[in-house]
Amino acid sequence: MSVSANSYRLNSAFLTTLNGDITVDLSSSILMIDYYEDILSPVITANIILLSSTSLVNAFPIRGGEKVDLDISTAFGDLKLTGDKCLYVHRVTGIGEDSSSERFILELVSREMITNETTRCVKRYDGPIHENVKKILKEVLLTDNYLESNIEPTINNYSFIGNLKKPFNILTWLCPKSLPIRNSRKTQEIDKQGITKGVAGFLFYQTQEGFNFKSVESLVSRTNLGTDDVKKYPTYIYTQVIESNKVANEFKILNFIMEKNSDLISQLSVGMFSNLTYFYNLYTNKFSTYQYNLKDEIKDASKLGTEDNISVDDKLSQSFSRIYFRTSDVGVMDYEFDSQKINEGQQRDIADMAKSISRYNLLFTQVLNMVVPCNINLKAGDIINALFPRVEPSKEKRIEEKQSGTYLIKEVCHHFETGKVVSSLKLIRDSYGLYGPNNNS
């Protein structure tokens, strides 16, 4: 077994009271730590199981909102949740006592999750969406916990009023409305109806590096660098036999299960391949329609696998399987009362919604769960390679090229306990094949 799957060092673990008067060292009481990231979650979380010889929950006491600093060292680096990146007690669960000890679970969240519940977006926001994302992070959530490179520029503007909504609600609400700058161009192609060509859809989430606002397109386009570049991503391989004390074991898949492998009925139910949107214009009192076809929109988009096209029957892609109804909010903030401009804005809004719905669902075509030796460098939103052997009677160890390939990390849980230090990953991807669309092998 690998070293990283067996050991870690807890450098420090401190809990501080709400008023900051008392700090207690938890390191000797910790049995297990689970640290979580998810591209569908705006914040990082953690659970700590403790066994204490004294009554901490009631004597301390722990009531929620206490600050917890963690510093953990592993074979792949350190996980430092200290200072501005420390976590806070969300709640205490699983409390049990006997005559000599107290056992309980601390459920932790980042500070911004607590701030999100106590603040609201009240002002008007104009201009590029990504600039508004940064304004909300700085001015409402009062955080600078993000890298500029992790707030991806959007090509489209969107004006709105906060309407006393919580910051995270606004930030996730903006995601499907956002369009990336495609292929590093300053503009995107716009057709005769004023509809922007490209793939809409962003994700807002938090990792060790801070907050991220990234498009699905940019997350998967990193596989377009070519075969040699893609192989630079961490590569994990599944073998049934793992020899002891081998360096290569650090990148072995300990176990895995394919949770989902293309669910046609679910895909049809959300209109992934083709959908029809009826849009009601509040100004003109008229309905308009827009039919979205995935094959037409996705053919030039980036994908995680080698498939040139999305495998779907032509009849399914031509016949819409989902009908959406929307009321236009275009014209309230962005346009003067000009029917032509209002109609153009409405058409863009319809198209962007249809595109984002399909792109989000396409990304979850395959869902793979796997466990590997702890690698603290693996973050939600990262790309990794997973290789699986072909099932065949031959003794030759060949790679299964359809199931193997590049995957996007949707969720990661770094698990720390004595004798078991692993990373549990939920991986997703939109197509099959090994090493991305530019594979020449």
Q: What is the domain extent for residue 20?
A: 3-110
C-alpha–C-alpha distance, residues 45 and 109, integer Å: 5
| Residue, of 269 and 92, whose pLDDT is higher | 92
Residue 396 CA from chain centroid, whole number = 37
Q: Is residue 243 part of a domain?
A: no
- Residue 393 tokens read as 């009677």
Contact between 275 and 291 under an 8 Å Cβ cutoff? The reply is yes
Question: Which of the two residues, 321 and 92, has the higher pLDDT score?
Answer: 92
Q: Considering the entire predicted model, what is its pTM?
A: 0.85
**Inside any domain, residue 17:** yes
The pLDDT tens digits for 426-435 are 999 877 666 5
Q: Is 163 left (phi over 0), alpha (psi -120 to 50) or beta?
A: left
The more confident residue out of 177 and 369 is 369
**CA 287 to the chain's CA centroid:** 35
Taking residues 88-112, report their average pLDDT: 91
Q: Which residues does 202 contact at the CB level (< 8 Å), separation at least 6?
A: 152, 154, 174, 175, 176, 178, 180, 213, 214, 215, 216
- pLDDT per residue as tens digits for the range 316-334: 667 788 888 877 655 456 5
Work out the average pLDDT over 37-43: 96
Residue 196 binned pLDDT confidence (cut-offs 50, 70, 90): very low
| Structural element, H or E, at residue 268 | helix 264-269
Residue 300 buriedness (CB in 10 A; 0-12 / 13-18 / 19+): exposed
Average pLDDT over residues 110-138: 95
Retrieve residue 373's tokens.
């030796």
CA pair distance 180, 199, nearest whole angstrom: 8
pLDDT of 181 reads 82
| CATH number of the domain to which 24 belongs | 2.40.10.10
When divided into structural domains, the chain yields a total of: 1
Answer whether residue 56 is part of any domain. yes
* Residue 249 belongs to some domain of the structure: no
Residue 28, in any domain of the structure: yes
**Residues 387-396, mean pLDDT to the nearest whole number:** 75
Tell me the average pLDDT of the chain: 81
Strand, helix or coil for residue 372 = strand
Query: What pLDDT sits at residue 297?
Result: 63
pLDDT band at 99 (very low <50, low <70, confident <90, very high): confident
Length of the chain: 441
Residue 258 in this model has a pLDDT that exceeds 70: yes
Tell me which residue has tokens 């090493």. 435
Query: pLDDT tens digits, residue range 294-312?
Result: 776 666 556 676 655 555 6
Residue 319 lies in a domain: no
Q: Is residue 428 part of a domain?
A: no
DSSP string covering 24-59: EE-TTTEEEEEEEEETT-SS-EEEEEEEESS-HHHH
Count, in order, helices (H) and strands (E) of the chain. 10, 23
Residue 126 lies in a domain: no
Q: Rounded distance, CA 25 to CA 269, Å?
A: 52
